[in-house]
Structure formats: structure tokens, C-alpha cells
Amino acid sequence: MSNKKQRYHHGHLSESLLQAVNDIASQFGIEAVTLRGCAKHVGVSPAAAFRHFQDKRALLTAFATRALNQLADTLAATEEAARSANHDSFHAVGMAYISFALENPALFRAMWREETIYSRDEDYLAAAERLVGYLKEGFAGTIEDEDPNDFSPHEMLAWSSVHGMANLFVDGPIASQMQQEQKIQLAESVLSELKSTCNSQ
């Protein structure tokens, strides 16, 4: 019996299917993911997979939720480490966001693809809210914020800039033209400029 089928019989099929999404999406793109394809990748019947996820959209919703939570976990640990070391949380959170995208491109691409998921799913919405909270906390310590309950224009500039830079590093011309180390170095420089811009306005 294969290890994949052993994992299934021990009750971990849903986790194995989500890992299959990551494997297939990393190699062929998120568009290539199907529930039947993931079942085959894991080594179980489609019927077994459908007992865990009603359709492809439900599977991708769970995958996007996992992505949001994993990035939120990363940012939470980053913020705690930055505070403990008295470091700049703005820079730490921005770099953590970009590094996550570079290291987990399939997860990063899946997070906000509302056209392929159930975007009103409670678990997905809770994960998105959690991630936004950590982003706001990371930026708020070093950016002027008149309203702590909403994103200020400077915080929105910071998030959109970081997210846009991550997108360019994962997909598009920059993705193929630069090595990962070069992308990290460029991100460091851009974040320094971005912080100066936000704090000078």
C-alpha cells in the first residue's frame, strides 16, 4: 500500500488533497487543478475526494483559506520577532509578505482569486480578516494612522505596493528576468523608499 493511501486511511485525505492542489498548481497553474485530478494525484477514487469537497470551487476555497492562514501565521511570527528585537515592523512585515510569495507561489496566487472560490465562505472570510489584521498591525507601528479601525491611505499604499511587488516577482517579466536573491535585494531597497515616502507625506 502506498504512503498516500495510508494517509487517506488514517483520516488525512482532505490535507492530502490540498497538498495535491499545491503540487499541481505549482507545476501547471491553478487552472489545471481539478478534484478528480487531485484524487488521482493522491491515489484515491474521485468518490472519496467528493466526500470531502463538493466540487472544485470548494476545494480551491479551502486551499485559498489555507494560504491566507499560513501567510497570517508568518506575519504574526514576524511581528512578534520584530517587537522582541526592537526592529522595524514595517520592513519585517513587508519582506515576510514578499518572501512568502516567492517561496509559495501557488498559495500566493490562490489567496484572492475570488472567481474560482466561494468568496463568502465563513472560513475564508475569517482567514482574510485575520490576515488583514496582521498587515495593519505591522504597518501601523511606523506609519501615521488617524483611524485605527480602517486602513489609512498610507497603509493602503504600503499594502498595495508590497502586494504588487510580490505579484511582479512571482509572475510577469520580472519573474523570469531576475534571480530570487536579486528580487530580495530589490525588495529591501523598495521598502526603504516606500517607508520614507509614507512618513514624509
**Cβ neighbours of 58 (radius 10 Å):** 16
Compute the average pLDDT of residues 92-110: 95
- Listed in sequence order, the residues at least 6 apart from 55 whose beta carbon sits closer than 8 Å to its beta carbon are 35
Tell me, what's the pLDDT at 108?
96
Compute the average pLDDT of residues 12-16: 93
**Does residue 134 register a pLDDT over 80?**
yes
pLDDT tens per residue, range 51-81:
999 999 999 999 999 999 999 999 999 988 9
CA distance 169 to 174: 6
Compute the average pLDDT of residues 119-136: 93
Tell me, what's the pLDDT at 29?
93
**Does residue 131 register a pLDDT over 90?**
yes
**Does residue 5 register a pLDDT over 90?**
no
pLDDT tens per residue, range 169-182:
999 888 889 999 99
**Cβ neighbours of 142 (radius 10 Å):** 17
Tell me, what's the pLDDT at 143?
57
Bigger pLDDT: 150 or 93?
93
Side-chain-facing half-sphere of 24: CA atoms under 13 Å: 21
Compute the average pLDDT of residues 148-160: 76
CA distance 201 to 199: 6
Compute the average pLDDT of residues 155-167: 90
CATH (residue range 1-53): 1.10.10
Reported confidence tier of residue 3, pLDDT bands at 50, 70, 90: very low
> Options 1.10.357.10, 3.40.640.10, 3.30.750.24, 3.40.30.10; which CATH number does 57-200 get?
1.10.357.10
**Does residue 1 register a pLDDT over 50?**
no
Domain boundaries, the chain: 1-53, 57-200
Tell me, what's the pLDDT at 201?
56
**Does residue 49 register a pLDDT over 70?**
yes
Look up the pTM and report it: 0.87
- Listed in sequence order, the residues at least 6 apart from 70 whose beta carbon sits closer than 8 Å to its beta carbon are 100, 104, 107
pLDDT tens per residue, range 107-119:
999 999 999 999 9
